[in-house]
Structure 1
Amino acid sequence: MQIRDLPYVDPGLPDARSGPAFLLWLGRRQRSGQLRSLSWGMLHFVSVMALPYGTGLAVQAVVDGSGGSLAVAGGTLAVAAVCIALGDTMLHRTAVTNWITAAARVQQLLIRKSAELGSALTRRVAAGEVVAVSTGDVEKIGWFVEVVSRFLAAALTVVIVCVGLVIYQPALGVVVAVGVPVLALGVLPLLPRATELADIQREKAGRATELASDTVAGLRVLRGIGGEELFLTRYRRASQEVRTAAVHSARMWSVITAVQVLLPGLLLIAVVWHGLGLVRDGRITVGELVTVYSAVMLLSYPLRHFEEIAMAYSFSRPSARRAARVLSLERDTGAAPDTQDGAVPEETDGADTPDRVLKGDMYDPASGLLVPAGSLTAVVCGDPDTAGRLAERLGGHPTEPDGLPSVLLGDVALDEQPLERARAAVLVQDKDPVLLSGTLTELLDVPASGAVAPDRALAAAECGDVLDALSQASLDDDPMGAPITERGRSLSGGQRQRLALARSLVTDPQVLVLDEPTSAVDSHTEAKIADGVRKLREGRTTVVFTSSPLLLDRADRVVLVHEGRAAAVGTHRELLHIEPRYRAVVTRETEAEQQLVGAPRGAPEAAFGKAGTDDIEETS
């Protein structure tokens, strides 16, 4: 896999049982890249370790006065230099490729998991943790995958050099062969503590990132309630804890580095001391001593990779653990459907095929909510969180504990279908939809049936003033080519909401679920949107979670959900007369307040204010 081939057609199915298992899976998925890196690494390291032999040969040639031997030494050094340059260049290229492709694979896996779980992801994992995994953690995981091949090349080179020195000059080679394992393993007693401190640092850094992300996401609310200073103090404290943990971790790694400088120095002293005695006794030549001395000096280069892989693993292990935690989340499946509360979905006959179009009435056995096909059904929930969870269930993403039955579309259980098929049939727009940066044309370029043109969707969503604003920001007065900043920050809340609604209408799904789609617009615009959506979605199933009388009055059917169950069904005006719980949610008045103003219980006027229902209908 090369960088130019990214992204992966299929990043694979990860082993997310644990952090180490995930790292091992990543390494296996990049075997070819690891082998290339290992091969070039071997060429580079072996060529570096060939320099001592050429140097010793040259010194001995000068001592002996042999021109031929000196020429051979020069040729050896020249070949080694060329191989060093070639090996180092290609090792760097392959190692960086391994790093980037591993990081890209993790990014794609996280993106795929986010798309699979939808907004349910942030209800199961903190948003800050998702941010931490998809940014810094991805780089650390890629670093470990990349360093493995270089470490293996370095380790094999050390073994080859030790064996070669024993054969070349046994008297000194044995000293090196005994001393090198001590160098490689001498820091092992320090690694558990270093790893523990690194884990503490990463954990504290992750919490600080989560706190910062969650604070930024709720900044507007914090300003509204004067809570900025409180959260700023919390972040300062968390930041200082990260700094302290980083200093402690750095101290331990500095000790490890010092040990790795000290031990080779001691080995070098031992080799020189013993070697000088051997030269004085005439048992070895000066050239052989230079060769062994130079080899011991250069061994510190491949041995440095032992420290690097230990550091890479200690830093990447908590990152891999967090990534595995996110990737291990599964799209829950409900239990077998039942037929409580009078719903009558028919039994499945097992003849369902991937090409079959999902259609029919929608029914949620867990809440008893029934949505007739082709209708505009409004759902009123007193608890916004209940509304959000129910909207997710209707999209085939059950958020309650396992064991609850699945939502049915016709006679098909949604959460038992492939995600692509469920998404094609049901689209859920949550209460806080996201607009990505780009032009308006790109924003509306979404998978769609083709039956709803962008201009019709924009008109139904009452985006006329948005188009005017975008025209002024466009160089050629074309609103479709005007740039939209990330998350639509240059637009007002109501404008962002209407553009998101237009995007959902363009897709023209069989079932469209809207969670508070007009909460940020004024009542006049809201009434027009209600009429536009009703007209555009005629013949299609539409579910709107709202407590707005303007939307409720235009729905074919209104369902009151109380304490997670469908408690009452009717039209808006009928429920105002007969259902006090419904009236309390829609009018936001208590029974005591209604008695104080003297309004008859259930009077339609209570839902529309003093103007009454006729005035509202005229404004629409």
Structure 2
Amino acid sequence: MTTPDTRRPRSASDILRIALRRNVGAMVWGTVLMGLYQAGETAFPIALGLIVEHTMQDRSTGSLALSIGSLALIITTVSLSWRFGMRILQKANTTEAHRWRVRVADCGLQPVARDVDLKSGEVLTIATEDADQTADIVEVVPLLVSSLVAVLVATVALGLADLRLGVLVIVGTVAILSVLSVMSKRIGSSTREQQARVARAGAKVADLITGLRPLHGFGGNHAAFLSYRKVSTEARHQAIVVARANGAYAGVATALNATLAAAVTLTAGWLAFNGRITIGELVMAVGLAQFIMEPLKMFSDMPKYVMMAHASAERMALVLAAPAVATPGPELPAAGGDLEIDCVRYGALRGLKFRVHAGEFVAVAVYQPRAAADLASVLAVKVAPDAYEGVVRLGGQDIAGLSVDAVREHMLVNPYEGEIFAGTLRTNIDPSGTSRTVPEAVEASMLTDVVALHSGGLDHGVRDRGANLSGGQRQRLSLARALAADSDVLVLHDPTTAVDAVTEQLIARNVAKLRRGRTTVVITSSPSLLDAADRVLVLDDGVVTAEDSHRNLLATDEDYRRAVAR
């Protein structure tokens, strides 16, 4: 049975309900303590009024000591309740934000991409800023209730002094909230748009960083800069809109609260002048008029934060409620099985059909780069099985009926642009720390010179995206990681395009040796890798047009010779 915490939220309201439900305990204690804090704050001017009233009648030392003790007790209560109440609420807030960050990240990292029109940079913003703002609801509700406690205590105290003062506070509070609730809706919609624009700008930055070298290559720097400046300017303009709305909200809230405080003070003064209330009640009313501004400000700010939390929850729902492109199957593939592509039609693939037997080393020479990318995407399970025609079988089983995680445990597809992470050479080669073939993988990928070049060896630091490595070093590091995984079926997509011919020949020989007896597919146009393969499949216009050894194809196929000869 699906619990409220684990079921998939479908809307912003679902997300907020889940956040509130699983923090009930912390919110109750936080509400009690913050309510005690607000009650203590409000009790201070009430106590002062009572002290003035009784001191005028009884001027004894005992009464003075009792008054001082009462004020000390109130101050202590206010201090401790604030300290522990905010500690509980902020811990719950931080924990809840972490839960949503993990949940959004989990959706973004699903083995099969989710059907949502968001780039990775936008998902990152949702997993950070939107998760934080959504979790604020855990803190907002107790503060809202505690502020209401302060307003009610002040209303009752003023009403007991004179009914008109109590009615004035009630009417003023309702009027203030009515005005601010209208303004908070505008802030919510503006914030939602701001988050979307900031996310798009972040996604654009990520795309530019990834493609910086190609942009330099064909002189697209200026066009890329103009593109980013456009989305960045839009984000800046929207941020200004939100800032103005927040400024207007804060200004109106302060002005209205001050107006109500002034109205209470003047009314109390008029009542005291006419003898309707005592001097002690006047002191209490003036004090409450000043103290009530803080809870009123907090109370009037809450609609804004509720709308901001709701706006961020709506953006999180875009990711969390999006259905997965494919539902993983329950079965497991057979270990050491073969790989079969049966009449697959997808993108540039036009009914592609071939089979790689278990333990075979096969190279696929693809004349069109788009077809190579589409083949790699299908094998990497980045494309849902129902998004293409035909069948991909692993160990004789259709991958549509297999667990995606299990498929990736048995078949690893190393992408053309393998991501390099901040850390060390070792953590990039063996992220899990469980591989037993790291030395062999380093040697086979010809990464030994990089290791030997630095005193730290495999513990040499690597910057994010491999910024302190050359293109060839990054590619060899990615290849070493793929080889260290030691999977039953390994698919490599152009693993040596950034290395020199001599190194490429050594890598081809080493990979063939290391992977002997293991199923290996290399999508490449490298003569060295083609020559090292047991057989070569020629893929032209989305179908296999020839099949033989590299040397036989060179001797018999003119198109092949022109495509791969260097």
TM-score range, shorter chain: 0.7 to 0.9
**Aligned in 2, Cα 1:146/1:268: closer, same or farther, shift over 3 Å?**
closer
**Aligned in 2, Cα 1:59/1:460: closer, same or farther, shift over 3 Å?**
same
How far apart are residue 219 of structure 1 and its match?
2.0
Cα deviation digits, residues 173-214 of structure 1 (max 9, x gap): 232223222223321222333333333333333333333332
Cα deviation digits, residues 127-157 of structure 1 (max 9, x gap): 3323433444343334444433323332344
1:227 to 211, 220, 229: 220
Q: How many residues align?
A: 555
User: Counterparts of 2:398 and 2:4 in 1: how far apart (Å)?
Assistant: 28
Secondary structure of the corresponding residue to residue 408 of structure 1? strand
Secondary structure of the corresponding residue to residue 547 of structure 1? coil
1:480 to 442, 458, 478: 458
How far apart are residue 399 of structure 1 and its match?
4.7
1:50 aligns with 2:47: no
Secondary structure of the corresponding residue to residue 64 of structure 1? coil
Cα deviation digits, residues 241-272 of structure 1 (max 9, x gap): 33333333323322222221222233233323
Contact 1:461–1:502 at 8 Å: present in 2 too? Answer: yes
2:439: which partner in 1? 455
**Aligned in 2, Cα 1:181/1:330: closer, same or farther, shift over 3 Å?**
same
Cα deviation digits, residues 492-527 of structure 1 (max 9, x gap): 111121122112212211111212111111121112
1:608: which partner in 2? 565
**Aligned in 2, Cα 1:137/1:57: closer, same or farther, shift over 3 Å?**
same
Contact 2:97–2:135 at 8 Å: present in 1 too? Answer: yes
Secondary structure of the corresponding residue to residue 121 of structure 2? helix
User: Counterparts of 1:497 and 1:440 in 2: how far apart (Å)?
Assistant: 12
Paired amino acid for 1:469: L
1:501: which partner in 2? 479
How far apart are residue 331 of structure 1 and its match?
4.3
Contact 1:493–1:520 at 8 Å: present in 2 too? Answer: yes
2:23: which partner in 1? 30
2:348: which partner in 1? none
How far apart are residue 237 of structure 1 and its match?
3.8
1:197: which partner in 2? 190
User: Counterparts of 1:157 and 1:562 in 2: how far apart (Å)?
Assistant: 77
How far apart are residue 51 of structure 1 and its match?
1.3
User: Counterparts of 2:19 and 2:293 in 1: how far apart (Å)?
Assistant: 29
2:102 to 101, 108, 129: 108
2:453: which partner in 1? 469
The root-mean-square deviation of aligned C-alpha atoms, in Å, is: 3.3
Cα deviation digits, residues 73-129 of structure 1 (max 9, x gap): 4333212211211122223322332332233223322332343247x5799632332
Secondary structure of the corresponding residue to residue 239 of structure 2? helix
**Aligned in 2, Cα 1:98/1:30: closer, same or farther, shift over 3 Å?**
same
1:412 aligns with 2:375: no
**Aligned in 2, Cα 1:174/1:94: closer, same or farther, shift over 3 Å?**
same
TM-score, structure 1 normalization? 0.80
2:562: which partner in 1? 587
Cα deviation digits, residues 44-85 of structure 1 (max 9, x gap): 222212212112112223333444554444333212211211
1:551 to 529, 547, 558: 529
Secondary structure of the corresponding residue to residue 368 of structure 1? strand
User: Counterparts of 2:366 and 2:63 in 1: how far apart (Å)?
Assistant: 92
Contact 1:176–1:296 at 8 Å: present in 2 too? Answer: no
Paired amino acid for 2:110: E
User: Counterparts of 1:101 and 1:434 in 2: how far apart (Å)?
Assistant: 30
Paired amino acid for 2:210: A
User: Counterparts of 2:518 and 2:5 in 1: how far apart (Å)?
Assistant: 37
**Could you list the runs of 5+ residues in structure 1 that have no partner in the other structure?**
1-9, 337-351, 589-606, 610-620
2:93 to 99, 110, 114: 99
2:425: which partner in 1? 440
1:291 aligns with 2:284: yes
2:72: which partner in 1? 78
**Aligned in 2, Cα 1:241/1:394: closer, same or farther, shift over 3 Å?**
closer
**Could you list the runs of 5+ residues in structure 2 that have no partner in the other structure?**
345-351
Cα deviation digits, residues 279-317 of structure 1 (max 9, x gap): 344432222232233223322222323443333344444
User: Counterparts of 1:408 and 1:509 in 2: how far apart (Å)?
Assistant: 16
Contact 2:421–2:428 at 8 Å: present in 1 too? Answer: yes
Higher relative contact order (Cα pairs below 8 Å, separated by 6+ residues): 2
1:130 aligns with 2:123: yes
2:234 to 219, 238, 241: 241
1:371 aligns with 2:356: yes
**Aligned in 2, Cα 1:229/1:218: closer, same or farther, shift over 3 Å?**
same
1:274: which partner in 2? 267
Paired amino acid for 1:85: S
Secondary structure of the corresponding residue to residue 187 of structure 1? helix
TM-score, structure 2 normalization? 0.87
User: Counterparts of 1:324 and 1:152 in 2: how far apart (Å)?
Assistant: 27
Paired amino acid for 1:207: R
Contact 2:20–2:137 at 8 Å: present in 1 too? Answer: no
User: Counterparts of 1:578 and 1:29 in 2: how far apart (Å)?
Assistant: 70
How far apart are residue 430 of structure 1 and its match?
0.9
Contact 1:137–1:320 at 8 Å: present in 2 too? Answer: yes
User: Counterparts of 1:334 and 1:380 in 2: how far apart (Å)?
Assistant: 32
1:361 aligns with 2:338: yes
